[in-house]
Structure 1
Amino acid sequence: MKKVMVTFVFALIGVVIFKVLSLPLPWMMGPVFTVAIASNIPKITTLKLTSSIANPAKMIIGVTVGSAFSAFILNDLHHYMFSILLIIPFVLVSSVFGVYYYNKFVGLDKNSAFFASQPGGFVEMVMLAQSTGANVQKVILAQSSRLMIMVVSLPFIIHTFLNIELPKSNSGSLLPSIVDLQLNDGLLMIFCGLFGWWIGNKVKLSAASLLGPMIISMFFYIFNLINDKPPFEIINIVQLILGASIGSSFNGIGFKELAKVLLFGMGHFVGLILLALIFCSISIWITGEQWLSVLLAFAPGGQSDMNLIAILVSANVPFVALHHTFRMFIIMAILPAIHKSFEKHTKDKEF
């Protein structure tokens, strides 16, 4: 409990610093920085946040993403299909680039490089890496650095290149306050979150704490059973938890190793974002969707993080959510088969 309190004290310090400096998304980005730094200061005992803390936050994101769906949006789903299918070649090309990068330039063995390079599914990649004898610590650091750099860089990319002003205080202009929330709507949101999470676990759904609540709440909102959306005060707490969770993944590695990991992660990020921009251009050409939504849909960050940013910047949340859900499905459905083929063809070969 002491470690939890210390971790969130530093997370709140990050919020205050980002607010004072008028930096974007302070409730999420501030904790990423301060918890990552505090986690490597001697005699400061922060906690490496586990899924038991992060999953409830993801459940709330799932309900919030579901709240963006409506019967009207369902009529537009067929316009998204070509763009969603572009996720397949994007994942394959990104994986080939990532494996080559981490093997040739970072020096990871091919097996570890394979799981370190996959653009999404942090927890799932770590679990699969454990089962195949990969260097789990290297995979965790590589995946964590990708998430951290993506979360930190995207808001600045959106602000600088798309000229979109991002929230610098809270989400009050985007979501209602908790004082205005109807009691029955609040109870139904809680039901959607808990029941969706339970169902997701029962059917062994990947990212069950996020996708289960998203699917259940989506139906409630489509049929107008819930009118209100989750309040911004709760979303701020969710940002705090996820930001601290990303920062805490660097717990105890030391500043020298942290700098090295982030440097290598930046190289991977640059390559991924360039590939993403290529596929984004194709998607925009076909669908006519706005750059903001398409960029978030193809950004190779965490599913919960990208959906949360989409909510905060008023992007097309269903468009973004469907792309990331499909990407997760593709990665988890075909990755084991690809890995077996990868092992067979690279066992005694070099790139």
Structure 2
Amino acid sequence: MVLPRLALALAIGSLGGWLASLASVPLPWLLGSMVATTLAATAGIPVAAWTPLRSLYIAVLGVLLGSGFTPDAFSQADEWGLSIAVLVVYTLTAGLLGMAYFRRVAGFDRTTSYFAAMPGGLSEMVFMGEALGGDVRTISLTHAARVLVVVLVLPVAFQTLMGFDTGGRGLPGPDLLSLGARNIAVLLGCGLFGWAGARALRLPAAPILGPMALSAAVHLAGVTEVGPPAELVATAQIVVGSAVGARFAGTPPATIARIMGYAAGGTVVLLAATLGFAALAAAITRVELPVLILAYAPGGLAEMSLIALALGTQASFVATHHIVRIVLVIGVAPGAYRLARHVLDRRQRAG
């Protein structure tokens, strides 16, 4: 039964988030729950994630991100095209660098290396990699480990190296009791109808993309000016963080340690590319470097958006860039891999 293991994961994640908040850890409810659940999973404690629950709270984050799409947020919208163009080149470059690392250093097979390196959605890369003959466990653990490392490193780095306050800003969103019935109905409708619409259109990352788009529309139209309540945002962070940690459940510690080591090295490669391309984009646009780092960082869409919210940066900009990256990778990765494999196979036969 998944429910008892899910309840245990959420309890451990909540405790971890609470302890992290007492210790003034950056982004405590996300990082605390993620670390606590990861430690529990590696210790053999039966924790689990449940995709429908995670998707539900991802929809909450989508509504929250959509509330950031105000006229003021588009003051630098003319720069978005340039930064997205750089993002496209970065995504292709980072994917190739990551593939080379996993192939030559980690010794993964060609298919596994390719889909472990592609900075796309975890579930999509696992599904595509499995369909083309890759090692499902390795691809899944590598992506989970990469998200874990990136989400742990960036808030601490932003706080210690750049002076950002990631702990004392408080949770985004109003108090639940102050919302009123009308605003609650509007926000709930954005989440439910946005998610359903995105699923009907078969859009990638539907739980966050649909609610974000509909929420952005109603906020730009002036229907409401508020976002989801802070209590719900905190719960969403616990659910998302616990889900990352629970992905390691049922895997032998030796396997986790080995893949975590390779994933950490691959993450260093990807973060180096992130910093380089973010610096390039900062030089040709008016967007600040920290915002671009979050927009290009090879972490999860929900996780990077939460960090942007905690830092008080342009969360709508960050979320949009991650959605573009996911759409690009999902749309291009399978065809590009088949083409590359065909070319390599022809060269091997000719040799």
Q: TM-score, structure 1 length as denominator?
A: 0.94
1:28 is aligned to 2:18: no
Are the aligned partners of 1:189 and 1:217 in contact in 2 as well (CA < 8 Å)? yes
Q: Please list the CA deviations of residues 183-221 of structure 1 after superposition, one character each: whole Å capped at 9, or x if unmatched.
A: 211111110111011111111000111101111111000
State the one-letter code of the partner of 1:335: A
Distance 1:146 1:104 in 2: 18
Unaligned ranges ≥5, structure 2:
none
Equivalent in the alignment of 2:99: 99
Offset at residue 20 of structure 1 (A):
3.0
AA matched with 2:30: M
For residues 72-151 of structure 1, what are the structure 2 equivalents within 5 Å?
A: 72-74=72-74, 76-151=76-151
Distance 1:194 1:346, change over 3 A: same
Q: Kindly report which structure 2 residues correspond to 1:226-305, keeping only aligned pairs within 5 A, or say none.
A: 226-305=224-303
Amino acid at match of 1:223: A
Q: 1:143 Cα shift?
A: 0.6
Indicate yes or no: 2:44 matched with 1:46. no
SS state at 1:288 partner = coil
Residue type of the alignment partner of 2:287: E
The separation in 2 between residues aligned to 1:218 and 1:297, in whole angstroms, is 18
Instruction: State the distance in 1 between where 2:296 and 2:89 align.
Output: 12
Partner SS for 2:338? helix
Distance in 2 (CA, whole Å) between partners of 1:5 and 1:175 is: 26
- Give the alignment partner of residue 16 of structure 2, picking from 8, 14, 17: 14
**Per-residue deviation, 1:346:** 3.0
- State the AA in 2 paired with 1:264: Y
Letter in 1 for 2:47: T
Sequence identity, in percent?
Answer: 25
> Conserved in 1, the CA contact under 8 Å of 2:46 and 2:249?
no
| 1:291 Cα deviation from its structure 2 partner | 2.3
Deviation at 1:168, TM superposition (A): 5.1
Give distance in 2, aligned partners of 1:76 and 1:277.
21
Q: How much does 1:294 deviate?
A: 1.1
SS of corresponding position for 1:86: helix
Partner of 1:345: 343
Q: Provide closer, same or farther for how the CA distance between residues 143 and 185 of structure 1 changes in structure 2, counting only shifts above 3 A.
A: same
Query: Aligned runs of 1:192-211 on 2, under 5 Å?
Result: 192-211=190-209
Do 2:194 and 2:211's aligned partners in 1 also have CA atoms closer than 8 Å? yes
Where in structure 2 are the equivalents of 1:209-224 lying within 5 Å?
209-224=207-222
Distance in 2, Cα, partners of 1:19 & 1:216: 32
1:259 is displaced (CA, Å) by 2.1
| 1:71–1:223 contact (8 Å) kept in structure 2 | no
Q: Report the number of matched residues.
A: 346
Report the 3-state secondary structure (helix = DSSP H, G, I; strand = E; otherwise coil) of the residue aligned with 1:39: helix
The Cα shift of 1:309 comes to 1.4
| Aligned Cα root-mean-square deviation (Å) | 1.6
How many angstroms apart in 2 are the aligned matches of 1:154 and 1:58?
21
Q: State the alpha-carbon separation in 1 of the partners of residues 110 and 51 from structure 2.
A: 28
Gap runs ≥5 in structure 1: none
CA distance in 1, matches of 2:47, 2:335: 38
For residue 69 of structure 2, give the secondary structure of its aligned residue in structure 1: coil
Matched to 1:220, the amino acid is V
Q: Tell which deviates more after alignment, 248-257 or 67-76.
A: 67-76
Q: What is the CA-CA distance between 1:349 and the residue it aligns to?
A: 6.8
Alignment partner for residue 319 of structure 2, among 312, 317, 321?
Answer: 321
Equivalent residues of 2:138, 2:259 under 8 A apart: no
From 300, 305, 310, give the equivalent of 1:307: 305
Q: What is the Cα deviation at residue 39 of structure 1?
A: 1.4
**Superimposed CA distance per residue, residues 28-51 of structure 1 (whole angstroms, 9 cap, x where no aligned partner):** 011111111111324x3212x132
The farther-off stretch of 201-210 and 308-317 is 308-317
TM (normalized to structure 2)? 0.94
Letter in 2 for 1:69: F
Note closer, same or farther for the CA distance 1:349–1:306 as it changes in structure 2 (3 Å cut): farther
Q: What is the CA distance between 1:88 and its match in structure 2?
A: 1.0
Contact 1:25 1:168 in 2 (8 A): no
CA distance in 2, matches of 1:202, 1:54: 19
